[in-house]
């Protein structure tokens, strides 16, 4: 099965980001990287479209929690998987309540991460289709058709 998920990998650790993006691309994913939450937010706000955003929780400046909140404010359909080397159950639960799809500890098991990315893409497609259907029904209803 050919993969074609478009992923934004957000992490301030350049070596880690480079290595993970190469491993993901070798498996057929389209990967872009951002070194900060601010950079990720600018991409999303400028209209860049991603199936999944893989986001580091601990970053200088705007951390993963704030980035998550602002990304979801910009686009509520985003599927975000948080990665952390500093995992705490409380932070992970808080992130999921805020709208993160999942939280994984670094170093993430690549096959598990790829599985979660595939599931997230499918869910995103279903969400977008549902919103389009609702929008069509709303338009039809307002026209009296």
Q: Is the pTM of this model over 0.75?
A: yes
Q: In a structure prediction context, what are the per-residue pLDDT tens digits for the chain, which is 145 residues long?
A: 456 789 999 999 999 999 999 999 999 999 999 999 999 999 999 999 999 999 998 889 999 999 999 999 999 889 999 998 766 667 878 888 999 999 998 888 999 999 999 999 999 889 888 989 998 998 888 877 6
DSSP 13-80: -HHHHHHHHHHHHHTT-EEEEESSHHHHHHHHHTT---SEEEEES--SSS-HHHHHHHHHHH-TT--E
List phi, psi (to 5°) of 85: -95, -5
* Domains parsed from the chain with CATH numbers: 6-143 (3.40.50.2300)
For the chain, the first-to-last Cα distance in angstroms comes to 42
The Cα–Cα gap between 12 and 63 comes to: 10
If we measure between CA atoms, which residue out of 104, 4, 3 comes closest to residue 54? 104
């Amino acid at each position: 099965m050919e993969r074609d998920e478009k992923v934004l990998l957000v992490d301030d650790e350049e070596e880690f980001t480079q290595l993970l993006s190469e491993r993901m691309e070798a498996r057929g994913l389209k990967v872009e990287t951002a070194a900060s939450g601010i950079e990720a937010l600018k991409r999303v706000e400028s209209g860049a479209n991603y199936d999944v955003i893989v986001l580091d929780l601990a970053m200088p400046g705007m951390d993963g929690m704030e980035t998550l909140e602002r990304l979801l404010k910009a686009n509520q359909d985003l599927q975000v998987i948080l990665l952390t080397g500093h995992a705490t159950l409380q932070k992970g639960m808080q992130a999921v309540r805020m709208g993160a799809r999942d939280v994984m500890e670094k170093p993430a098991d690549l096959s598990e991460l790829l599985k979660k990315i595939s599931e997230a893409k499918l869910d995103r497609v279903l969400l977008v289709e549902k919103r389009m259907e609702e929008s069509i029904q709303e338009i039809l209803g307002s026209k009296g058709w």
